[in-house]
Amino acid sequence: MSMVKALAARLQVDLSLYITVKDSDGFSPFPCPCTVEEAFARYLDINSLPRKSFLVALAEFARDGSERERLLKLASKEGQDLYHQYVVLETRNLLDLLNDFPSVQPSLECLVELVPRLQSRYYSISSSNLVHPRCVHVTAVVVEKKYQDGRSFHGVCTSYLRRLHQGDIVRAHLRKTNFKLPREVSTPVILVGAGTGIAPLRGMCQELEHRKRMLAPIGKNLLFFGCRRPTEDYLYEEEIGGWLENGTLSRVHTAFSRSNDTLGGGKVYVQQRVDENAIQLLSLLDAGACIYVCGSTAMARDVK
């Protein structure tokens, strides 16, 4: 909310002002009328990185000629590297941009038209509905970055989730996924995840444990999990240990990319653990095992 107030102050706009937005067909892209505060907080992605077309539009509102030229330079083909460094790598949002170009005073109408709409953020559900039928677990890291110039960047949805209190209402929806366990309960399962990529795999382990409790003949199940340090971000360590102890998981392979030498031998990534156990994995795959990978695109590519 502090960013909403700061943006309104920079634009010299009253947050309690009611606005109505309609396109050429008379359609409102979000519920109207609404206050400026509601538009900034709920419907407009004011934290997004400004596109080049947005910079060109802002240049029209620059009273200072040098600032206008700088904005147009950033938006030009020749300024591609400058744009990448200034906007993308340093994650400057609309408010950062307006603070860096004080002569730019865009109209509220312009901003409402040009700022992209706030989109849903999707997270893997980290629980099984067989175990928690009335509860959905979400595993997410709060995105925070701090820069030498004093600026800070905070992820929109994760920061919102962190501010929630018990009893608060969350606007959410579910979408279908094919990331689910095989119907044949005896099929071996290989789970590979890094960081918060453990989320859907945790839900699968809960379901595997549930099947085992129902006396179903589950297969040989392996988990490969990677994180930075075992003492800091080994997510669900106790649960994983419990699944290993009760036989839900046959084996757990861990990899720590930032571990101290005293904790086990320098940097190791989860894809290395997969490679080290390639013969066993190939044998399981030949026997019909299913493999599930969740994490960064680079990690998934290396595992493949």
Residue 261 has pLDDT above 60, yes or no: no
164 within some domain: no
Residue 264 has pLDDT above 70, yes or no: no
Q: How confident is the model at residue 299 (pLDDT cuts 50, 70, 90)?
A: confident
Q: How confident is the model at residue 301 (pLDDT cuts 50, 70, 90)?
A: confident
20 within some domain: yes
What per-residue confidence (pLDDT) applies to 282?
Answer: 93
Residue where a domain stops, chosen among 78, 94, 114: 114
From 64-73, 221-230, 262-271, the region with the lowest mean pLDDT: 262-271
What are the tens digits of pLDDT across the range 57-115?
Answer: 999 999 999 999 999 999 999 999 999 999 999 999 999 999 999 999 999 998 998 89
Residue where a domain stops, chosen among 95, 114, 133: 114
57 within some domain: yes
Pair 204, 289 in one domain = yes
What per-residue confidence (pLDDT) applies to 262?
Answer: 40
What are the tens digits of pLDDT across the range 135-161?
Answer: 999 999 988 888 888 888 888 899 889
Average of per-residue pLDDT across 237-246: 96
240 within some domain: yes
Average of per-residue pLDDT across 126-140: 94
What are the tens digits of pLDDT across the range 19-55?
Answer: 998 887 888 888 899 999 999 999 999 999 999 999 9
Range of the domain at 66: 2-114
Pair 95, 7 in one domain = yes
Count structural domains, the chain.
2
Average of per-residue pLDDT across 254-267: 70
CATH of the domain at 267: 3.40.50.80
103 within some domain: yes
109 within some domain: yes
What are the tens digits of pLDDT across the range 5-28?
Answer: 999 999 999 999 999 988 878 888
180 within some domain: no
Taking every pair of Cα atoms in the chain, the longest distance, rounded to a whole number of angstroms, is 75
Residue where a domain stops, chosen among 72, 95, 114: 114
65 within some domain: yes
Pair 293, 195 in one domain = yes
Average of per-residue pLDDT across 114-122: 91
CATH of the domain at 17: 1.20.990.10
